[in-house]
Each structure stands twice: as C-alpha cells, then as structure tokens.
Amino acid sequence: MAEFWGNPYVETAGYFSVVILSVVLFLALFELVTKYKNWEEIKKGNLSVAMATGGKIFGIMNIFRASIAQHDELVTMLVSGVYGFFLLMIGYFIYEFLTPAFKIDEEIEKDNRAVGFISLTISVGLSFVIGAGI
C-alpha cells in the first residue's frame, strides 16, 4: 500500500483534489467578505469583478504551488496553504483599509477596471511573497 501512496501520479492527484476543494472553499469565504456576488457580477460581464476574482484564484493556487514545492506531506501542504490563504485575506483587508478615499468593493462592483486590475495585481503579488515565506 505504501507503493500506491508514494506513486507520483497518486500524489499529484491527491494534491490536485485538495487544491481544487480548497479553492472552492476559499472563494466561498471571499464571497462572504465582499459586498458583491462574484459569480452574479461576472455573469453580467463585470470585468472588474472578473479580474479581482481571477487574482484571488491565481493567488490561492500560487500559494498552494509554493506549499506543494516546499512540503513532502499532504497534511503539511494543506496547513501551509490554509495559512497562506488567511494571509492573503488579511492583505485584502489591509488594501481596503489603506484606501479610505473610496471603498474597494463598491468600486469593483461599479466595474471600475483600474481598481479591479490593482486588486488582481495585489492578490498575485502577495501570493508570491506568501509563497516564498511558507
């Protein structure tokens, strides 16, 4: 049985499955903290929401990529990935706090593409920093 679990294809399938489930869960958590409904806005063609959501998806997956590269066990990888996600979410709140002149969520919901692009860039950039740290 150890040969089965040690098989690189089985390991890859395990990582893949855990990451996909984590992305779904983490996007649901992000949905709870934003004022707009991601998928409803994307369905309407709101490019700003699509960029911000795409940045979050990329950020989450990039954190898990770094976690997989750094850790040998699935559980350790998952714990590091969850920790990285929470750091990414804290970064989101800091971004909102550092822009008192306007509300990030409201601007993204209004399809302010400049704000959507900056949100994407912040999520992607932070994911590289977080990934390097875990």
For the chain, the domains span 2-133
Separation of alpha carbons 13 and 102, rounded Å: 43
* pTM to 2 decimal places: 0.90
**pLDDT tens profile 22-71:** 999 999 999 998 989 999 999 999 999 999 999 999 999 999 999 999 98
In the chain, the amino acid numbered 73 is: E
Q: What is the mean pLDDT of the chain?
A: 93
Count of CA atoms in the C-beta half-sphere (13 A) of 53 = 23
- Which class for 21: exposed (0-12), middle (13-18), buried (19 or more C-beta within 10 A)? exposed
Q: How far is CA 130 from CA 35, 40, 66, in A?
A: 25, 29, 9
* SS percent in the chain: helix, strand, coil, step 5: 85, 0, 15
Q: How confident is the model at residue 1 (pLDDT cuts 50, 70, 90)?
A: low
Q: In the predicted model, is pLDDT for residue 3 greater than 80?
A: no
